[in-house]
């Protein structure tokens, strides 16, 4: 017998944080992995699935039917969630699943190779822990009633795959309810999504939640509207703010649900993204909530449009960076270029030193394993490594020193004392450059502020009081 080309549905799955779990409890993790493999075999077989590979901590299953593969993925995640329910959060063995219908090479021994397998594996890496992503080809081939539980998450340029792939998140409501992690449960709110087109022709996705004062949150380089509600912590923050504000969020060019094919990233283009969103929602007067690099963008917009921006709230921001620092020492420039190269090569590789250091600095030393895995998934879903490098290069050139002096609206600046990505003195400097700005140093570590930290430090109350005063 010889190898043949076949059109098959491939389900690729991989365990999340397997190495970390092995370092904690190798015997228990091996037992959990074997139990999970049994779930794949028992759940996939009734739908026509055949397990063809279980190398390492991965599972590869082939199906003749797209409907069968999607239903099997639902059942697998449901049963895995039930297995995880009695385990401590840091001991749970989650799997990501990717499903794709495509051409594969079928070997006489039953093994499969080719682009069809590669696409499924790449989609798996982009899924949330305990979640599943399917390709456009699968969505087009399933029964109509199944298509209704597939939610669009955007178009991705996958590594070593020539054409972009549009992906859909499989609603795992039963599975997530069993473990108590469904995004609907974490954030009982709906977002209305609209699309804008910028002056230079880029499609921008934006979403609105809540009611009250108009508050626009400019997008930054890891923005993804679907991720926001998939992540229980992020969704809880949005829900808390949406209790007193009409919150508008958006994915800037090259990110999330917005247009991915852009020529360059610069301040002018990012300002056009924000302007397009403001026009789409018909906003005349509004406040801005800018975090990280989006803080500088918010400053620039407020300085250029004093008639539109009522108030400015900034978190963990900065006014200048590497390339905008006068008389930058050569070794610092070399350091920046090294980080940029590492970004391209390590952004999508969860095992790379850059990937791990970036996450550690982003979430802080007190973060949970699930929080670190959440950030890793967001990095891969929000943008390509090439786009991440382009954004970081733009961030390194930020300089809003002159624009800060032109801000006329009331401004509140927060910064975490233990922020390892952007030092607290950068936030203090930013506040000092804006006339009349108030600076609040937060007793927290990490660059991201969690819902628990925000609640503990009364951040929601402070923001609400500032906006309505």
DSSP string covering 71-85, please? HHHHHHHHHHHHHHT
Distance CA 114, CA 102 (A): 9
Instruction: Pull the structure tokens for residue 381.
Output: 């879903």
Q: d(Cα 295, Cα 219) in Å, to the nearest integer?
A: 10
Q: Which run of H or of E encompasses 24?
A: helix 18-24
Q: Tokens for 446?
A: 């990490």
Model confidence pLDDT, tens digit, residues 69-90: 999 999 999 999 999 989 887 7
Q: Produce one character per residue of 85-121: b if its CB has 16 or more CB atoms within 10 Å, e if not.
A: eeeeeeebbbbbbbbbbbebebeeeeebebbbbbbbb
For 279, counting Cβ atoms within 10 Å of its Cβ (0-12 exposed, 13-18 middle, 19+ buried), the class is: exposed
Q: Where in the chain is the domain with CATH 3.30.70.1230?
A: 4-181
Q: Across residues 204-216, what is the average pLDDT?
A: 91
Work out the average pLDDT over 41-65. Answer: 95
Burial (Cβ within 10 Å: 0-12, 13-18, ≥19) of residue 360? middle
CATH 3.30.70.1230 for the 4-181 domain, yes or no: yes
Question: Is the whole model's pTM more than 0.75, yes or no?
Answer: no
179-204 residue pLDDT tens: 444 333 333 457 889 999 999 999 99
The per-residue pLDDT for range 294-316, each reduced to its tens digit, is: 999 999 999 999 999 999 999 99
What pLDDT is recorded for position 14?
A: 94
The total number of residues shown for the chain amounts to 469
* pLDDT at residue 189, rounded to an integer: 59
* Residues 375, 364 contacting (CB under 8 angstroms): no
368-393: average pLDDT: 88
pLDDT at 362 over 90: no
User: What is the predicted pLDDT for the residue at 11?
Assistant: 97
What is the pLDDT at residue 325?
86
Q: How far is CA 106 from CA 103, 118, 137, 274, in A?
A: 9, 14, 19, 49
Do 16 and 94 form a contact (C-beta atoms < 8 A)? yes
7 pLDDT higher than 60: yes
- State yes or no: pLDDT of 124 exceeds 70: yes
If phi > 0 it is left, if psi is from -120 to 50 it is alpha, else beta; for residue 329 that is beta
Q: How far is CA 228 from CA 182, 234, 254, in A?
A: 13, 5, 17
Predicted local confidence at residue 177, as pLDDT = 40
> Which part of the chain is CATH 3.40.50.1820?
185-468
Q: What is the pLDDT at residue 178? A: 41
Q: Give the residue from 411, 420, 417, 429 showing the smallest Cα distance to 467.
A: 411
Average pLDDT of the residues of the chain: 89
In the predicted model, what is the mean pLDDT of residues 96-113?
A: 91
CA dist., res. 297 & res. 271, Å (int): 7
Cα–Cα distances in angstroms (integers) from residue 63 to residues 9, 52, 137, 301, in the given order: 5, 11, 14, 52
CATH number attached to the domain at 185-468: 3.40.50.1820
Is residue 173's pLDDT more than 60?
no
Rounded Cα distance between 220 and 291, Å, is 8
């Amino acid at each position: 017998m010889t190898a043949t080309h076949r059109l098959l549905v491939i389900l690729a799955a991989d365990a999340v944080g397997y190495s970390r779990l092995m370092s904690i409890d190798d015997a228990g993790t091996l037992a959990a992995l074997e139990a999970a493999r049994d779930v794949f075999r028992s759940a996939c077989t009734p739908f026509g699935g055949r397990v063809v590979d279980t190398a390492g901590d991965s599972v590869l299953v082939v199906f003749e039917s797209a409907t069968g593969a999607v239903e099997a993925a639902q059942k697998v995640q449901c049963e895995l969630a039930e297995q995880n329910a009695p385990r401590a959060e840091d001991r749970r063995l989650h799997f990501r699943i990717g499903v794709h219908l495509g051409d594969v090479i079928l070997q006489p021994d039953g093994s499969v190779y080719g682009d069809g397998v590669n696409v499924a594996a790449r989609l798996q890496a982009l899924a949330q822990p305990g979640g599943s992503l399917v390709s456009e080809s699968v969505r087009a081939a399933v029964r109509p009633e199944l298509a209704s539980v597939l939610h669009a998450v955007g178009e991705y340029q996958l590594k070593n795959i020539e054409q972009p792939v549009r992906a859909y998140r499989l609603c795992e409501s039963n599975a997530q309810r069993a473990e108590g992690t469904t995004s609907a449960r974490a954030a009982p709110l709906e977002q209305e999504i609209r699309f804008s087109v910028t002056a230079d022709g880029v499609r921008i996705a934006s979403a609105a939640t809540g009611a009250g004062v108009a508050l626009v949150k400019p997008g930054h380089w890891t923005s993804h509207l679907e991720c926001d509600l998939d992540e229980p912590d992020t969704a809880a923050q949005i829900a808390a703010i949406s209790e007193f504000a009409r919150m508008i969020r958006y994915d800037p060019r090259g990110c999330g649900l917005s247009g991915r094919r852009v020529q360059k990233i610069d301040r002018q283009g990012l300002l056009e993204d924000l302007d397009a969103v403001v026009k789409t929602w018909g906003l005349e007067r509004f406040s801005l909530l800018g975090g990280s690099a989006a803080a500088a963008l918010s400053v620039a917009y407020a300085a250029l449009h004093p008639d539109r921006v009522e108030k400015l709230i900034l978190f963990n921001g900065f006014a200048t960076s590497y390339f905008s620092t006068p008389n930058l020492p050569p070794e610092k420039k070399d350091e920046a270029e090294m980080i940029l190269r590492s970004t391209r090569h390590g952004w999508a590789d969860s095992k790379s030193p850059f990937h791990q250091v970036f996450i550690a600095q982003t979430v802080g030393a007190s973060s949970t394993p699930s929080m670190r895995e959440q950030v890793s998934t967001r990095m891969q879903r929000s943008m390509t490594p090439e786009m991440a490098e382009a954004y970081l290069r733009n961030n390194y050139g930020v300089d809003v020193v002159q624009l800060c002096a032109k801000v006329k609206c009331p401004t509140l600046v927060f910064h975490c004392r233990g922020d390892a990505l952007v030092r607290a003195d950068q936030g203090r400097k930013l506040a000092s450059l804006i006339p009349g700005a108030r600076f609040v140093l937060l007793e927290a570590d990490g660059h991201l502020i969690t819902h628990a930290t925000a609640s503990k430090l009364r951040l929601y109350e402070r923001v609400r009081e500032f906006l309505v005063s």
